[in-house]
Amino acid sequence: MGKTVIPFGPQHPVLPEPLHLKLVMQDERIVEAIPAIGYVHRGLEKLTEIKDFTQNVHVVERICGICSFMHAMSYCKCIENIMNIQIPDRAKYLRVIWAEIHRMHSHLLWLGLLADAFGFESLFMQVWRNREKVMDIMEETAGSRIFLSANTIGGTRKDLTKEMLVKIQVILDEIESDLKQIESVFLNDYTVKHRLVGVGVLTKEDAYKLGATGAMAKASGLKTDMRTTGYEAYGELDFEPIVHTDGDSYARTVVRIKEVYQSIDLVRQCIAKLPEGEISVPVKGNPKGEAVVRVEQPRGEVLYYVRANGTKNIERLRVRTPTFANIPALLHMLPGSQLADVPILILTIDPCISCTER
């Protein structure tokens, strides 16, 4: 039988961002998938070489609209490592609190998009209603829904007051009880399971070989979580990376749902342990040297490399984002699957194309 090429994307109802795939089809089955990215390249890495190193915090924050806080945190950590700055303990905990709140919002967004992808509109709205509470926490504590701009080199710009901490805990309780209800639909519903179980299986060996990160790797049984390296305050918190062994779309959903609970738990731990004191230290001089930082984002591991030459501008910034690492795994999963499963498969890697192309 002859082969057909079906273009998937860059504009497609299921895709929040432009990713283009040429799907070589034989009947309804995919033989080969050829990716094409480059639709949202903005040259942000180059822009960081023009701006001051302090202004760059706001530039890197705009690499991604979902994990913006982690981008700013990674960049600040790079510069702090180069300049040997020890940030105050309180700032470490504050960064973890905001990072975990960001992870919750990202995973809830993804769960909604997944529900939308398999056509469960009301579930999508339930999840996003829940997510709105997380967004409110962010706006109330940092001033903005997405671009928190709470990071600065040497600590954080904003502090959390006692009332805010109490309110965060109340909202977290609400989110947890609401999510418990929705969770059973994702995990036990017949139609949902029909679309997820056994779709896009990635074995542990393949995940390792293809360099998958984040929920992709964890769902395939790889215990990779950069948070276990203990950056910021993670070393003082009690948690275990969530691992599933099945490696299919259902396993990835389970991992992400459990990670939301884990984030809720981590925020609670942080609030309980939050030390008093300063939130930032003053920064003097310009950075000189290079540093690599690896941070766990909602989608997986991000790698930041900064080289600075002692002037107010940095020489080079390189970002390796988790979606870039997960695209080979996606291309491995696609051949052999049905055309109707393509949206689910693309969504389960949680693609962030803006991150990938910068």
Partner 1 sequence: MFNMITNIFRNLASKPATRVYPLQKREPFSRTRGRIDIDMSNCIFCGLCSRKCPSDAIVINKAEKTWEIDPFKCIICGECEIVCPKKCISMNGQYNTPAYSKSTSKHIQQTKVIQSEIKKDDCKAQETA
What residue ranges bind partner 1 (CB under 8 A)? 51, 54-56, 58-59, 62, 122-123, 126, 129, 132, 139-144, 147, 149, 157-158, 181-182, 184-185, 188-190
Nearest CB to partner 1, comparing residues 136 and 205:
136
Residue 138 or residue 325: which is nearer to partner 1 going by CB? 138
Query: Does residue 16 have a cis peptide bond before it, meaning omega lies within 30 degrees of 0?
Result: no
Task: Return the exposure string of 267-291: e unless at least 16 CB atoms fall within 10 Å of the residue's CB, then b.
Answer: bbbbbeebeeeebbeebeebbeebb
At closest approach, how far in Å is the CB of 97 from partner 1? 15
Whole-number minimum distance, CB 341 to partner 1, in Å? 22
Sign of CA dihedral 53, 58, 60, 61: positive
Least distance CB 51 / partner 1 (angstroms)? 6
Q: How far is the CB of 256 from partner 1 (least distance, A)?
A: 18
C-beta atoms surrounding 223 within 10 Å: 11
- Give me the residues paired with residue 68 across strands: none
Query: Cβ closer to partner 1: 178 or 265?
Result: 178
Minimum CB separation of residue 150 from partner 1 in Å reads 10
When the beta carbons of 128 and 239 are compared against partner 1, the nearer one is 128
Could you tell me which of 80, 227, 257 has the C-alpha nearest to residue 153? 80
Shortest separation between residue 210's beta carbon and partner 1, angstroms: 34
Q: How many other C-beta atoms lie within 10 A of the C-beta of residue 354?
A: 22
Residue in 38, 170, 199, 71 with CA at minimum distance from that of residue 59: 71
Cβ 144 to partner 1, closest distance in Å? Answer: 5
d(CA 5, CA 102): 38
Write the DSSP string, 154-195. Answer: TEES----HHHHHHHHHHHHHHHHHHHHHHHHHHH-HHHHHH
d(CA 110, CA 254): 12
Whichever of 12 and 193 has its CB closer to partner 1, that residue is 193
Q: Which is nearer to partner 1, 149 or 228 (CB)?
A: 149
106 vs 130, which CB is nearer to partner 1?
Answer: 130
